[in-house]
C-alpha cells in the first residue's frame, strides 16, 4: 500500500483496535465541548470508553455540597437565628445599654468587613464554576483569594476586639457586650474554620488533585464559606447599624 | 523497504496541516461523544456544566455590594427615622441572604422544598426581629 493509501486509512474511521489504543481523554474536556453531560469520572481508558453520560447539575436538581452539609447549614442558621432573636429581646429590655454599646463600634469597619466577606463569597462561587469548567488553576486562585479575604476579615476583627477589650470591656460588662463578644466570636471561629478548609483546597486544586468526581468536595467548601457570609449579612446590620 | 522502516520514515516526516485538523471520524457515534439530549440542555445564558454563569455571579456580587453600601447609608439617623430604617435594613439583609443562598449556594437550582424552607426561615427571622426591636 502506498503513502496515499496509508494516509487515507489514517484519516478515516478508526478501527476497533485504534480506538482502544487511543489515549484516555481528559474527562473535563468532554464537559467543555458544548456538551450538557459529563462523563462518569475515570482516568482509565477502559472505563472512560464504557462510561455513560449523567444528567447536568441543573437537570439533577441536587443540593450543592450534598444533603448532609445542608442539614448542618440548617442547624447553624437556626442556632444563629436564636442568638439574633435573643439579641433583639435584650435590646427591647434595655435599649439604653445597647445604644451605648453600639456607639462604641465602628460601622465603617463593619461595612468594610461585609464587603471583604462578600468578595470572598463571590470568589468561592467562581472557584466552583472554574472547577466545573476544568480550570484547576483558576479554582486554586479563587479559593486562595477567598481564604485571603477571610484573613483580611479576621485582621480587621482582631483590631476591633483589641480596641474593645483595651477599653476594659468583658463578657459581663453589659448584655450588649455579652451578645457582641459571644456571637461575633462564634462567627469569627467559623471564618477561621472556613479559611482552614479553603487553603488546603486551594493548594490541592493548584496541584490538579481534584477531578470531576471531586465536585462535591469543592462545592461543600464553598457552601460552608457562603454560610459564613449568610450569618454575617444578618449580624452586621443588627449589631452595627440598627439604632 | 520493509513495512516497519516505512512506518518509521512516515512518522518522522513533517505532517501536512490537514493532518492537524479535527478528525471527523472521531465520531458522533463514538462512546465518548457529547450527549445531545435536549432534556439536559441549559437555559440560554448558562454555560455548559455550570448552574450559574460567571456574569450572573458578578452581577450578584455588585448587587450585594450596592445593598451593603445602601445599608450603611441608611443607618445614618439623619437619612431615615429609626423604625423605618430598621425595616429597610432588615429587608436589605433578607434580600442579600436570598442572593447568597439562591445564586452562590445554588439553591435556585436545588430542590424546591429546601428553597421554600430557607426563604421562609429568613423572612420569618427578619419579621420577628423587626417586631421585637423597639
What would the mean pLDDT of B100-106 be, rounded to a whole number?
Answer: 93
- Predicted pLDDT of residue A57: 52
Give yes or no for residue B32 having a pLDDT over 50. Answer: no
* Contact present, A7 and B23 (Cβ < 8 Å): no
Compute the distance between CA of residue A118 and CA of residue B99 in angstroms, rounded to an integer.
11
Lowest mean pLDDT among A16-30, A80-94, B41-55, B98-112: A16-30
Q: Do A30 and B34 touch (CB under 8 A)?
A: yes
Sign of the C-alpha dihedral computed for residues B33, B36, B40 and B46 taken in this order: positive
Partners of residue B103 in chain A, C-beta under 8 Å: 125
- Predicted pLDDT of residue B105: 92
Which residue in B has a C-alpha nearest to residue A223's C-alpha?
Answer: B105
Q: Do B50 and A133 touch (CB under 8 A)?
A: yes
Compute the distance between CA of residue A32 and CA of residue B35 in angstroms, rounded to an integer.
12
Q: Do B50 and A132 touch (CB under 8 A)?
A: yes
- Predicted pLDDT of residue B52: 67
- Predicted pLDDT of residue A218: 93
What would the mean pLDDT of A32-57 be, rounded to a whole number?
Answer: 41
Give yes or no for residue A12 having a pLDDT over 70. Answer: no
B112 Cα to chain A: minimum distance (Å): 9
Residues 6+ apart with CB under 8 A from A69: A63, A220, A223, A224
Q: Do A241 and B90 touch (CB under 8 A)?
A: no
B76 Cα to chain A: minimum distance (Å): 8
Chains A and B: how many Cβ contacts under 8 Å?
201
Q: What is the DSSP string of A133-160?
A: HT-HHHHHHHHHHHHHHHHHHHHHHHHH
Give chain B's mean pLDDT.
71
What are the tens digits of pLDDT across the range A138-193?
Answer: 999 999 999 999 999 999 999 999 999 998 899 988 999 999 999 999 999 999 99
User: SS3 helix, strand, coil % of chain A, rounded to 5?
Assistant: 75, 0, 20
Q: Do B64 and A63 touch (CB under 8 A)?
A: no
- Predicted pLDDT of residue A62: 80
B109 Cα to chain A: minimum distance (Å): 6
B108 Cα to chain A: minimum distance (Å): 9
- Predicted pLDDT of residue A213: 83
Number of residues assigned to chain A: 243
* Contact present, A65 and A216 (Cβ < 8 Å): yes
Give yes or no for residue B29 having a pLDDT over 70. Answer: no
What would the mean pLDDT of B85-103 be, rounded to a whole number?
Answer: 93
Helices (H) and strands (E) in chain A, counts: 11, 2
User: SS3 helix, strand, coil % of chain B, rounded to 5?
Assistant: 65, 0, 35
- Predicted pLDDT of residue B123: 95
Which residue in B has a C-alpha nearest to residue A34's C-alpha?
Answer: B48
Lowest mean pLDDT among A68-82, A179-193, B102-116: B102-116
**Interface probe, candidates B20, B93, B99, B105, chain A, greatest A C-beta count within 10 A:** B105
Which comes out higher in pLDDT, residue A206 or A22?
A206
Choose among B35, B85, B114: nearest Cβ to A63.
B114
Give yes or no for residue B69 having a pLDDT over 90. Answer: yes
Other CB atoms within 10 Å distance of the CB of residue A50: 9
ipTM of the complex: 0.75
- Distances A111 to A119, B3, B69 between C-alpha atoms, Å: 12, 75, 7
Compute the distance between CA of residue B125 and CA of residue A90 in angstroms, rounded to an integer.
16
The CA-to-CA distance between both ends of chain A, in Å, stands at 89
Compute the distance between CA of residue A54 and CA of residue B127 in angstroms, rounded to an integer.
42
Which residue in B has a C-alpha nearest to residue A28's C-alpha?
Answer: B49
Compute the distance between CA of residue B99 and CA of residue B104 in angstroms, rounded to an integer.
7
Which of A213-220's residues contact partners 24+ apart within 8 Å by CB, and which partners? A213/A41, A214/A131, A215/A131, A215/A132, A216/A65, A216/A66, A218/A127, A218/A128, A218/A131, A218/A139, A219/A64, A219/A65, A219/A66, A219/A128, A219/B106, A220/A65, A220/A66, A220/A69
pTM metric for this prediction: 0.72
Compute the distance between CA of residue B121 and CA of residue B100 in angstroms, rounded to an integer.
15
Which residues, listed in sequence order, are joined to residue A54 by a DSSP beta bridge? A38
- Predicted pLDDT of residue A73: 94
Sign of the C-alpha dihedral computed for residues A67, A71, A77 and A80 taken in this order: negative
- Predicted pLDDT of residue B81: 63
Amino acid at each position: 500500500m502506498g503513502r496515499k493509501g496509508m494516509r487515507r486509512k489514517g484519516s478515516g474511521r478508526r478501527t476497533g483496535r485504534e480506538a482502544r489504543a487511543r489515549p484516555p481523554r481528559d474527562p473535563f474536556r468532554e464537559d467543555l465541548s458544548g456538551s450538557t453531560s459529563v462523563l462518569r469520572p475515570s482516568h482509565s481508558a477502559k472505563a472512560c470508553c464504557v462510561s455513560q453520560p449523567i444528567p447536568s447539575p441543573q437537570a439533577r436538581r441536587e443540593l450543592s455540597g450534598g444533603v448532609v452539609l445542608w442539614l448542618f447549614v440548617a442547624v447553624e442558621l437556626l442556632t444563629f437565628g436564636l442568638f439574633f432573636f435573643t439579641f433583639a429581646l435584650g435590646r427591647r429590655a434595655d435599649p439604653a445599654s445597647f445604644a451605648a454599646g453600639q456607639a462604641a463600634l465602628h460601622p465603617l469597619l463593619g461595612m468594610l468587613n461585609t464587603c471583604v466577606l462578600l468578595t470572598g463569597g463571590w470568589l468561592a462561587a467562581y472557584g466552583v464554576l472554574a472547577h466545573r469548567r476544568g480550570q484547576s488553576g483558576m479554582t486554586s486562585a479563587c479559593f486562595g483569594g477567598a481564604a485571603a479575604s477571610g484573613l483580611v476579615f479576621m485582621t480587621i476583627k482582631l483590631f476591633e476586639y483589641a480596641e474593645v477589650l483595651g477599653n476594659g470591656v468583658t463578657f459581663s460588662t453589659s448584655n450588649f457586650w455579652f451578645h457582641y463578644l459571644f456571637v461575633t466570636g462564634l462567627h469569627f471561629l467559623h471564618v477561621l474554620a472556613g479559611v482552614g478548609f479553603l487553603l488546603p483546597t486551594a493548594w490541592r486544586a493548584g496541584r490538579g488533585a481534584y477531578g470531576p468526581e471531586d465536585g462535591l468536595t469543592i462545592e461543600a467548601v464553598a457552601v460552608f464559606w457562603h454560610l459564613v457570609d449568610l450569618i454575617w449579612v444578618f449580624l452586621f446590620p443588627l449589631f452595627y447599624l440598627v439604632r | 523497504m520493509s513495512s516497519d522502516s516505512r512506518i518509521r520514515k512516515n512518522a518522522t516526516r513533517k505532517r501536512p496541516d490537514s493532518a492537524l485538523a479535527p478528525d471527523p471520524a472521531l465520531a458522533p457515534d463514538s462512546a465518548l461523544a457529547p450527549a445531545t439530549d435536549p432534556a439536559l440542555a441549559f437555559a440560554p445564558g448558562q454555560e455548559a456544566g455550570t448552574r450559574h454563569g460567571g456574569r450572573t455571579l458578578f452581577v450578584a456580587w455588585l448587587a450585594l455590594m450596592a445593598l451593603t453600601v445602601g445599608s450603611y447609608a441608611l443607618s445614618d439617623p439623619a437619612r431615615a427615622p429609626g423604625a423605618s430604617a430598621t425595616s429597610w435594613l432588615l429587608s436589605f439583609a433578607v434580600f442579600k441572604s436570598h442572593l447568597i443562598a439562591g445564586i452562590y449556594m445554588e439553591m435556585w437550582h436545588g430542590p424546591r422544598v429546601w428553597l421554600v424552607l430557607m426563604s421562609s426561615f429568613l423572612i420569618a427571622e427578619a419579621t420577628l426581629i423587626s417586631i421585637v426591636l423597639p
